Amino acid sequence: MTTRRNFIRLSAFSAALLSVSKSFGKRNYEPGNAAAPIILSTWKWGLEANEEAWKIISRGGRALDAVEAGVRLTEGDLGNVSVGLGGNPDRDGHVTLDACIMDEKGNCGSVCFVEGIRYPTSLARAVMEKTPHIILVGEGAVQFAKENGFTQENNGLTPRANTAWKKWLKKSKYKPEVNPDSHDTIGMIAIDASGNLSGACTTSGLPFKMHGRVGDSPIIGAGLFVDNEVGAATATGNGEEVIRTCGSHTIVEMMRQGHSPEEACRIAIERISKSPKDIRQLQVGYLAVNKHGEFGAYSLQKGFNYAMNDDKGNRLLDSDFMFK
């Protein structure tokens, strides 16, 4: 059994290995001490979201508040093709949103298959804070939203999403067309100045999915997992493969066993490679941070990048990947 002392020792050992092998993903820390604030989020849109989150975390705010504020920026951007109300619709022309949030105490909340709610992560937080439950879906989630001061918007598809849907309808291929460039779910994980971790993950899901389909992003343990003693992980890409392998939870457990964040992400990607499905055309990207502020990423395909913000600034980094 891995004790906390073992975890710390193994983490220190992997940090030492990292420092001789490569500096990527390595930050200075005193073993046993929590890291200085850091925010990580998926894809290049994460840069702007990180800046929003950094405003909170750099002033001593809570990681939970920072990740909520950060991803709200992406949710509110109607130009984003797979987050928020501007995202691509399902096959029937509905934009259905999934989101979740998790804090340092293991509190978590999630909403799935919600329509017309601009900030689903804030709704997920309300589920976490105001109900005895973790997940609310569809009409029930919208009813709860209205009862708690959220407005349901019925503005239809944005012109861009409408054009994309009409184009898709011409062929109406049943199988979702997935390629590494079509994902931009935002998953954000952060450590605040008190050393506490939180995360959020939000998406409109795979473009032209079946009506009613829910992906990994709102599933605690798949699209997001936070354990304040160990670290946090989040996912983007083909959600079915992430759910099948409990991706983010697997990564946190690998970090608990002493693997670096990047190694943990690679191990989770390797599990996907055993999928019964043909994964050669699919993309999955994982992003993780441990309690000490070491971070890393790994994806199936080339092209996954992520934004990292710490006291030295905000930058975009490329993930290593499996299919070389």
List contacts with ligand ASP (CB under 6 A): 82, 183, 185, 203, 205-206, 215-217, 236-239
Residue 135, phi then psi, degrees to nearest 5: -120, 130
Residue 149, phi then psi, degrees to nearest 5: 90, 5
- Judge whether 138 and 94 are in contact, CB under 8 Å: no
Token pair 């913000």 is found at: 309
For residues 181 and 318, which CB has a smaller minimum distance to ligand ASP in the complex? 181
CB of 134 to ligand ASP, least distance (A): 18
- Judge whether 153 and 118 are in contact, CB under 8 Å: yes
For residues 236 and 248, which CB has a smaller minimum distance to ligand ASP in the complex? 236
Q: Are strands 320-321 and 295-299 parallel, antiparallel or unpaired?
A: parallel
Give CA–CA dist 121/142, Å, rounded: 13
CB of 203 to ligand ASP, least distance (A): 5
CB of 251 to ligand ASP, least distance (A): 15
CB of 61 to ligand ASP, least distance (A): 27
203 a catalytic residue: no
For residues 205 and 231, which CB has a smaller minimum distance to ligand ASP in the complex? 205
Catalytic residue among 74, 96, 158, 185: 185
The closest alpha carbon to 211, from 264, 261, 179, 165, belongs to 165
Question: What CA–CA distances, in Å, run from 304 to 103, 182, 225?
Answer: 25, 11, 20
For residues 57 and 235, which CB has a smaller minimum distance to ligand ASP in the complex? 235
Active-site positions read: 185
